[in-house]
Structure formats: structure tokens, C-alpha cells
Amino acid sequence: MPRLFGTDGVRGLANGDVSVELALSLAQASAVVLGRGRSAEARRLQRRRPTAVVARDPRVSGEFLSAAVAAGLASSGVDVLDAGVIPTPAAAFLIADIHADFGVMISASHNPAPDNGIKIFARGGTKLPDEVEDRIEAALGEPKLAPTGEGVGRIRRFADAEDRYVLHLLSTLPARLTGLHVVIDCANGAAAGVSPEVFADAGAKVTVIGNEPNGININDGVGSTHLEPLAAAVIAYGADLGIAHDGDADRCLAIDADGTVVGGDEIMAILALGMKERGVLRQQTLVTTVMSNIGLRLAMREHGIDIVQTRVGDRYVLEELGARNLSLGGEQSGHVIMTDHATTGDGLLTGLHLAAEVARTGKTLAELASIVTMYPQVLVNVKGVDRDRLDGDDVIAEAVTGAEERLGDTGRVLLRPSGTEPMVRVMVEAADQHTAENVANELADIVRVRLAVA
């Protein structure tokens, strides 16, 4: 039976895979696993019952799914603070800020509007490790908590949720954004209410697009997965830079004044160098996933910054940051984690600090991004193969070794089985596009033959 939890919670078609019944049951199981025993801080605050923060992005299905989650928690003896529509990182921050026992975010991030998801955060606003998710999944088939009378939980509105988050973001800035013109694409998502406000409060002149969520237009032609409207707006308004969020605002990509995309790797490089200059980059180390471009690694080496790589997924970046007590990490996709200020990827925090580097240094975003020379990267998805045989195939291993020897220090090879499909991803970076394409296609052909399904 496939695992219910994916790399970022439970996600699928709303009212299909992600049903009211599932939302209710997951909430009740989470109450069993995460609601046992109040923290010392909760006892100090004289809370009689465990407390959970519940929030959502603006997609229409979030209305009934968040209601189901709140009902499941309250019926299990958990007090619910309903924060309404706020970014995922805001929910994570608020869990820690009010010393809640855990929290639930209803969002499918960058997915289209028909999808939705359930993300569960532990005490402190941190993502759950695999073993805790497994315990929650196991608890779905076990008896639920069923208090009566005064034992049932209460559901209340979290009235100052957004204000707390905005004040937190502003308190982190190393420089005001005075004089900067920033275009913000809110993806018709959870950032629409808060991102323009916080950038303006930080001193920037703000122009906004993608800020009219109606429940069904989230990520629809806008946001971090559709950067063309933002690039056009930055040029049309003569702005200094553009910031793009995804539906739940846990990621950030950018556009420079010329309309050029500044991706996650370049954003991490800019922040890492700025943090090093300000003395807040712990151990002079940046954490990335294996998908980050070789150009980032070479640029960081040139500036005396080490890189630690993890498997794909921001949760694994977070685990490495915690294990090594580091302050910055992220993914090529724009999930950037600044552990001094957040417990998860935060697109608003990232965008603010990126703009602050422009203000602090007096350089354009293009100048700051130029420290990274991005190498051509080719990704070939080899479908319909037996992905489970990849690790044990000596012929493929020998072909990869040969390709790496051909590329030397100016290239990289990565073969990765899909976690959800019968597919192997072949990624090659090289000094030029032609070489990257040739090597990727050669390896893909070998994988296709060697792992063919009988």
C-alpha cells in the first residue's frame, strides 16, 4: 500500500483523493499523536487542552477542508485557532510564536486550483519527520479521542495572525527598502493579503499583480511557475526587481530590472554572500539539494563558502540545517530557509531579504546575481522503466562514471528514480548546451535499455 504522506504532506485532487473524510480523520489522528501532553509553556499559559493553529490558502476547497480539520481537532479535545487565509510560513511562525502544540495548513502550494493538500506542523512550527507521519498514518485505523462536556475543544478566530507575522518579517530586515520599486506577483494565492503590505511597510514602492484570488484562479498563469507576466510588468513599470510567490508563498523566485529570471540558486548565492559579509552565515556553509546547479557550487567555493548537499525536498534541507546548526539552505525551486528567522521555506522572508541586499549594497539585482554562472542543465525523464533496478545495474554505473570523467570539473551527472512513477530522471550539467544534451541522451538510452520492463 503506498504511503499516504508525500514529500510535503498529503496532496491530491480535492473532494477526490483529499476528501472531507480524510481531512477529518487526519485531524483526529494528529490529535492522538501530537496532542498528547501539553508543553511546559502551555501549562505556564494555563491551557487546559492542547492548542492547534489551522490555516489555508484561498482555493475554494480549502473552505470545507479547513472546516473538516477544525471539526476533527475540536472533537478530539484540541482548541483550534483559525488563522484563515495566510501563507504556509506564516502558519509555521504562528505555531511557534504562540507556543501551540501543532498546526495544520490546507494548501497544495504551486498545484492548480482543483488540487489541495494537508500539511501538518509539529510544536515549534517544524515539519514532521517521516517516523511521526508514519505514526499519524497508523493512527488512522486506531480508536480516536472522544471527550465530552468540557473536554471538547473550542474553535476561535486567530484575530491578529497576519499582524504578528508582518511584524516578525519586518524585525528581521538588515536594511530598509527605501527607494526600491518592487513588483510582486502573489499568484492569486495566500500572499495576496500580506506580501504587498509588508514590502510597503519596509519602505518599497510596490506594484502588485496576481492579487485577486477568487478561489479558482490560484497559480493560474501567474506566480513562480509562470514568470512571464511578472517579467513584463517589471519592464513596463521600470521597476528595480520583481518577486514571485507560489500559491502558499513558501517559495520565491525573482526578476531583475531587465526582465531576466533570477532563480533559487542565484537567490541563495546572493543571500549567502550577504550573510557572510554581515557575519551571520554560520560555519560559512550553505545547504542545497543535489539538483542545484554546479555554477552555484563553483561560485560559493570562490567566495569561501562551503556547500552541503541533500536529497531533493526542502524537508531534507531543513533536517541538515538543524543537524549541523546552520543558518541558510534551500532548493533551486525557490524554497529558501533562513533558520534564524523561520522554521520552513518562506517566500516573503526570502523576497524581503533579497530586496534588502539590493538596498544594502547599492547594486542592481542583475549585478548581485552575476556572481553565479549557471551551467546548461538538461533533464531527460526516462519513462516506463523499472526504477527499482537502477542502483544495482553495473552497466549504468559504469556509463555514469565514464560520463563524469568526460565532463571533469565543468559538469555533473545525476540519475534519480522518481518517487511516484516508473521513471528515472537523468540530469546532466556541462559547460555548453550541446555537450549536456549529448551526454544526457546517451545515458537516457542506456537506462531505457537496461531497465526496460519485461
Q: State the Cα angle at 397 between 396 and 402, rounded to 5°.
A: 95
> What is 10-160's CATH number?
3.40.120.10
3-state secondary structure of 216: coil
- Asked about 109 being catalytic, the answer comes back as yes
Distance CA 116, CA 20 (A): 11
Residue 86: the pLDDT is: 97
Q: Strands 10-13 and 51-56: what pairing?
A: unpaired
pLDDT of the residue at 43: 57
Q: What is the model's pLDDT at position 410?
A: 83
User: For residues 198 and 170, what is the distance between their CA atoms, to the nearest angstrom?
Assistant: 7
Rounded (5°) CA angle 346-350-352: 120
H-only helix segments in 335-451? 347-361, 365-369, 394-407, 433-450
- Residue ranges for the known binding site for Mg(2+) are 109, 246, 248, 250
* Cα separation, 129 vs 70, whole angstroms: 23
CATH topology assigned to domain 172-369: Alpha-D-Glucose-1,6-Bisphosphate; Chain A, domain 3 (3.40.120)
- Residue from 66, 107, 109, 195 carrying the catalytic annotation: 109
The pLDDT averaged over each successive group of 10 residues in the chain (454 residues) is 79 95 97 76 68 97 98 97 97 97 95 95 92 94 92 96 97 97 98 96 98 96 96 98 97 97 97 97 96 92 96 88 96 95 96 98 98 92 90 91 89 84 90 92 93 84
- In eight-state DSSP terms, residue 380 is E
pLDDT at 37: 57
Distance CA 92, CA 74 (A): 20
Q: How far is CA 146 from the centre of its chain?
A: 35
324 within 8 A of 339, measured Cβ to Cβ: no
The architecture that CATH gives domain 377-450 is: 2-Layer Sandwich (3.30)
Q: Where in the chain is the domain with CATH 3.30.310.50?
A: 377-450
pLDDT number for residue 1: 56
- Which residue ranges are tagged as binding site? 109, 246, 248, 250
Per-residue model confidence as pLDDT tens digits over 137-162: 999 989 999 999 999 999 999 999 99
Euclidean distance between CA atoms 241 and 170, whole angstroms: 19
Whole-number pLDDT of residue 323? 94
Per-residue pLDDT, 44: 60
Boundaries of CATH 3.40.120.10 in the chain? 10-160, 172-369
CA separation for the pair 122, 109 (Å, rounded): 19
Cα 73 from chain centre? 25
Per-residue model confidence (pLDDT) at position 4:
87
Cell of 388: 527499482
